[in-house]
Amino acid sequence: MKTEVLRYLKEADGYLSGQELCERLGVSRTAVWKVIRQLTGEGYEIEAVRNRGYRLGGSDDVFQQTELQSVIRTKTVGQNLVFLEEVDSTNNRAKQLAEAGAPDGTLVIARQQSAGKGRRGKTWESPAAGGIWMSLLLRPAITPDRASMLTLVAALAVAEGIENTCGLSALIKWPNDLVLNKKKICGILTEMSAEIDCINHVVIGIGINVNIKELPDELKGVATSLYLETGKTFPRSLLTAAILQAWETCYELFLQTMDLSALLERYHQLLVNRDKEVRVLAPGGAYDGIARGVTATGELLVEKTDGTMTEVLSGEVSVRGIYDYA
């Protein structure tokens, strides 16, 4: 009922009378009042005026379960929402929930991670104030060799969500990162449990530095946050909901073809590496080239200095710009 009250208050143009709320919800005035008290306890500013009713005050970045549920507009993803105050890693929790039978589309999100995981065994800084640390549990009917494309779909959804909510053009650094002004603002860690020919589940972990005001010294040169780049605070609930909505659209397109063909045009517009020099750190030795785009199955197309084109797989190399981070 809390979610519904919050949604009605948000949709109301000004005050919403207690009577109206009671009728819509089919409950007593006391029950409505109790819910209003719970919401104010969670940090919402709600004005209560005799003979007029209730009105929601502006709160910049309320980030918790009720708020999120009231703004999520998807069919599947995030409908089963697990919001945690603190967890070691949302990816770990999502994997545990997957083993216990949690449904496709479950979203695990935490205010803080005590052992956030980055790629290649690195740790991921996940302070309580200002980040979105979330993991999406999927059970896609695709073969395991196609799963790495999901990271690219997620990157596209994050870029679209940031554009739609914050009006900022974050770009994708293939395959796992998003950058703003050439510094990293988002990292994606995709993990999978599979048999030889079928997927049990995939967990897509997404970490976004949204309203973080200070980064550790060692990250300052390479990472940033939306706040640090703009001086503005952004509502994490709305941003999360926008990312989920973009995800759902992109994922449906992906599932229709089981590849990225329907998403490639948009992906290329957002690809920071496109037509830039890159150094490919392949297991057999590093080489330089120009990134020309990605294939429909997600490999990076790199034109070598001798003019030949190679397809770089995300799993086996890391690609860095030669002159700067992106």
Q: What strand order describes the sheet that includes 285-294?
A: 309-312, 300-304, 285-294, 277-282, 318-321
Smallest distance, ligand BTN to C-beta of residue 111, A = 12
Of 89-97, 148-156, 210-218, 243-251, which segment contacts ligand BTN by CB under 6 A? 89-97
Interface with ligand BTN in residues 156-195 (CB under 6 A) = 176-177, 187-189
Q: Is the CB of 111 or the CB of 274 nearer to ligand BTN?
A: 111
Q: How many residues bind ligand BTN (CB under 6 A)?
A: 22
Within 8 A by CB and 6+ apart from 36, the residues are: 5, 46, 48, 54
Residue labelled with tokens 């967890």: 87
Q: Rg (Cα) of the chain, in Å, rounded?
A: 22
Should residue 89 be labelled a site residue for ligand BTN when binding is judged by CB under 6 A? yes
Identify the residue among 53, 161, 207, 289 touching ligand BTN (CB under 6 A): 207
Q: Is the CB of 53 or the CB of 273 nearer to ligand BTN?
A: 273
* Side chain identity at residue 52, one-letter code: R
Smallest distance, ligand BTN to C-beta of residue 158, A = 11
Of 44-52, 58-66, 70-78, 117-125, which segment contacts ligand BTN by CB under 6 A? 117-125
Q: Is the CB of 188 or the CB of 278 nearer to ligand BTN?
A: 188
Should residue 124 be labelled a site residue for ligand BTN when binding is judged by CB under 6 A? yes
Identify the residue among 55, 119, 266, 276 touching ligand BTN (CB under 6 A): 119
Q: State the alpha helices, DSSP H only, in 42-148.
A: 65-71, 90-99
SS3 80: coil
Interface with ligand BTN in residues 50-79 (CB under 6 A) = none
Q: State the alpha helices, DSSP H only, in 113-184.
A: 149-166
Should residue 289 be labelled a site residue for ligand BTN when binding is judged by CB under 6 A? no
Should residue 116 be labelled a site residue for ligand BTN when binding is judged by CB under 6 A? yes
User: Is 231 exposed, middle or buried, given 0-12, 13-18 or 19+ CB atoms closer than 10 A?
Assistant: exposed
Query: Where on the phi/psi map is residue 286: left (φ > 0), alpha (ψ -120 to 50), or beta?
Result: beta
Should residue 267 be labelled a site residue for ligand BTN when binding is judged by CB under 6 A? no
Q: In degrees rounded to 5, what are phi and psi of residue 159? A: -60, -40
Interface with ligand BTN in residues 129-148 (CB under 6 A) = 133-135
Of 95-103, 162-170, 200-208, 262-270, which segment contacts ligand BTN by CB under 6 A? 200-208
Smallest distance, ligand BTN to C-beta of residue 193, A = 16
Within 8 A by CB and 6+ apart from 150, the residues are: 138, 140, 190, 202, 204, 254
CA distance 267 to 129: 30
Could you tell me how far CA 12 lies from the centroid of its own chain?
A: 28
Residues that bind ligand BTN (CB under 6 A): 89-91, 113, 116-119, 122, 124, 126, 133-135, 176-177, 187-189, 205-207
